[in-house]
Amino acid sequence: MEFRDFDPSDYWRLAEIYDTIFPERSRSIDEWRFYDDSLDKSKYYFKRFTCLSVASGEVLGFGEMWNPPWMFHPNKFWLDGWVDPKHQGQGVGAAIYRTLERELKRHGAIVAWMGIREDMSRPVTFARRRGFGEKMRGWESTINPSHVDTTKFETYSEKASSAGVEFSTLERELREDQECYPKLYELVQTAFRDVPIADTPTDTPYEQWITFEMKNPNLVPEGYIIAKHHDRYIGTSVVWRLKKEPRSLYQGLTGVLREFRGKGIAMALKLRVLDFARTNGFDNIRTFNASTNEGMLAINAKLGFKRDSAWITFEKNLA
C-alpha cells in the first residue's frame, strides 16, 4: 500500500466507496466538492489522502482529518476513514489510521473524534482497540410526511399564535427583509449552543455560515421555516434536498430561543416542514438527534419518526 494526497480525479472513487458503505447516506460528486470547497481552510485544518495498491494502482480507501467549525479548537480533529468493502479486513484501515496518527502528532492534537454506526461491529472494535471511548450517541430517524395527519397537532400552532408568533419561510424573508441573513445567523448560532454535541459549541463565523448553509445548492428556501415574534426571528427549521434521493429531504437544526420555548413553536415548525414536504411530493424526511436531546426526540416520537441504528461518537484524549 502507498499513500498520496487526495486529487480531484479521486472524487468519483470516493463517492463510489462511500455510497457502497453507506447507501442510506449517499452523496453525489457535486456534494463532496461543495463541502470541500466551502470550508475556510485558512482557519480550519483539512487533510484527505488516498490509499492505493502498489501492485495494481487501485484506490483502496481514503482517510481524512479536519477541525469541525461548530466546535472549533485548532488541536481537536474529526477523523474519517473509508475502505472499499472488497478490501476490508486486509489491514487497509489500520494503515490509514497509522497515517492519521502521524498527522495528529504532527499537528499537536489533544483530542480526536470519529463517528461509527453502532451496528458496524468491526469498526466499533477497531476504535475501542485504539483507545477510543464512547462520548455520545444519537439516532438518525425518518418519516413519510404523507403518513402524518398534521391536523391532529393543530393545538401547538394555536398555542404559538396566541403567544404572538407567526411563521414565514426563508424564501419570503429574503424578499421582504434586508436584514434576513444577519438575523437568521444570530438565531441559528444562539439556538445551536443548546444542541448536544461532542464538545463545547463554537459560533461558526458569519461568512463561513453563509457559504456552508445559505449558499448550499441543496438548501430549500421555500421549505426553510422561520418563526417570528414581531420582527425578531425566534425559531427555525432548516431542510435540504438530497441529490441522489430527489424525493427526500434532510431536516437539520430545529431550534427555538430559550425564552420562547414551551409555547408549541418547535412542534409547529416541524409540522410546517411536514406540510411542505407532503404538498411538494417528498415521501421521506430524515433527521438526526443526540440521545440526550430529550425534547426534540419527544417531538419526533409524537409525530411518528422511526429511529434507525444509532451513531456513536468516539473520543480519544491525546494530550
Whole-angstrom Cα distance, residue 173 to residue 160? 19
In CATH, which superfamily holds the domain spanning 141-311?
Answer: Gcn5-related N-acetyltransferase (GNAT) (3.40.630.30)
For cell 393543530, the residue is 154
2-109 and 141-311 have identical folds: yes
**Mean pLDDT throughout 203-216?**
96
What's at 116, amino acid-wise? I
Q: What is the pTM of this model?
A: 0.93
Average pLDDT over residues 69-87: 97
pLDDT of residue 264: 96
Residue 178: per-residue pLDDT: 95
* Confidence grade of residue 245 (pLDDT, cut at 50, 70, 90): confident
User: Mean pLDDT, to the nearest integer, of 9-31?
Assistant: 95
- Taking the C-alpha atoms of residue 204 and residue 190, their distance in angstroms, rounded to an integer, is 11
Q: What is the pLDDT of residue 244?
A: 84
Taking only the tens place, the pLDDT of each residue in 152-186 is 999 999 999 999 999 999 999 999 999 999 999 99
Q: Of the candidates 60, 40, 48, 25, which has an alpha carbon nearest to the alpha carbon of residue 99?
A: 48
| Mean per-residue pLDDT, 123-137 | 97
Average pLDDT over residues 125-147: 96
The band of 111, judged by pLDDT with boundaries at 50, 70 and 90, is very high
135 contacts 142 by C-beta, under 8 angstroms: no
| Residue 92 predicted with pLDDT over 90 | yes
Residues in the chain: 319
Q: What is the pLDDT of residue 298?
A: 95
Q: Count the Cβ atoms, other than its own, within 10 Å of residue 292.
A: 10
Give, in words, the CATH class of 2-109. Answer: alpha beta
Residue 39: pLDDT over 90 = yes
What's the rounded mean pLDDT across residues 218-241? Answer: 97
Encoded amino acid at 60, one letter = L
Q: DSSP states of the chain as a string?
A: -EEEE--GGGHHHHHHHHHHH-GGG---HHHHHHHHHHS-TTTS-EEEEEEE-TTT--EEEEEEEE--GGG--TTEEEEEEEE-GGGTTTTHHHHHHHHHHHHHHHTT-SEEEEEEETT-HHHHHHHHHTT-EEEEEEEEEEE-GGG--GGGGHHHHHHHHHTTEEEEEHHHHHHH-TTHHHHHHHHHHHHHTTS--SS---PPPHHHHIIIIIT-TTB-TTT-EEEEETTEEEEEEEEEEETTEEEEEEEEEEEE-GGGTTSSHHHHHHHHHHHHHHHTT--EEEEEEETT-HHHHHHHHHHT-EEEEEEEEEEEE--
Residue 307: predicted pLDDT = 94
Domain extent listing, the chain: 2-109, 141-311
